Amino acid sequence: MKVVWMYHDIMDLYGDKGNMMVLKKRCLDRGIPFELDTCGIGEEKDLSEYDLIFLGGGADKEQISLIPDLLSRKENIKKAMDEKTFVLLICGGYQLFGQYYIAANNEKISGLQFYDYYTDTGKAGSRCIGNVVIDADLDGLKTRIVGFENHGGQTLNVTHPLGKVIKGYGNSFGAGYEGFYDGKILGTYLHGPLLPKNPEVADFVISKAIQKRNPDFKYSDLKPLEDKFETMAREAVFKKLEI
């Protein structure tokens, strides 16, 4: 499994690196070879060579700094997606695959415009902050996802949400739904990081990445792992939120 982490040096908010650590550990525990590469501003990489593209979160300053480089890779990213490279996007990464993002200073930042959703800024500096729990259906895998959100951006016009909000805010105040999933990309505001507390989501991402080279591979083909500590972490959140 070949993974590329884009802008690893500036888009690593709230421990997003932990997502890569989890994918590596869960692959190696199953004897699945795992290769993690990075791609910074100005680096020449053919993103279509990878099974998974990962882009984490960052503040406005970081997002603005990488936009010219990201937009220059639009055709290559599209090629990768067309060739079944799966894409995992957290927070800022999620926003940048939409039409545009309006920063806190009201600067309009153009996105890759692969999807119709767009991100406005929270009024009067308001932010969606706190623990969040959503119920998702990932290609038939029904799973409850937990995480932490902290975003001023209000993502609107989301046609394929990742899941229904049980606790927290989601894509925007009063949205009732969180994230985006369409089979090609999984975008979410859930930090924490996302994957350590959600082993089913981690394994789902692994299975989607493997399917690039092995189309017949199924989620159920993954060897089960003991998720004792992950389960304890999830139960602690559920208890705190009285779920």
Residues at the binding site for substrate are 127
Strand partners, 90: 188
Rounded Cα distance between 156 and 170, Å, is 11
**What's 191's DSSP letter?**
B
- Is 8 one of the annotated active-site residues of the chain? no
Burial class (CB in 10 A: 0-12, 13-18, 19+), 37: middle
Rounded Cα distance between 77 and 48, Å, is 7
Q: Is the bond preceding 196 in cis, omega lying within 30 degrees of 0?
A: no
Amino acid found at 81 = M
Among 8, 27, 128, 191, which one carries the catalytic annotation? 191
- Is 91 one of the annotated active-site residues of the chain? yes
Among 27, 39, 91, 128, which one carries the catalytic annotation? 91
CB 92 within 8 A of CB 62: yes
Q: Which residues are annotated as a binding site?
A: 127
- The encoded tokens of residue 6 equal 């884009």
Give the residue from 94, 67, 89, 88 showing the smallest Cα distance to 153: 94
* Active site (catalytic) residues: 91, 191
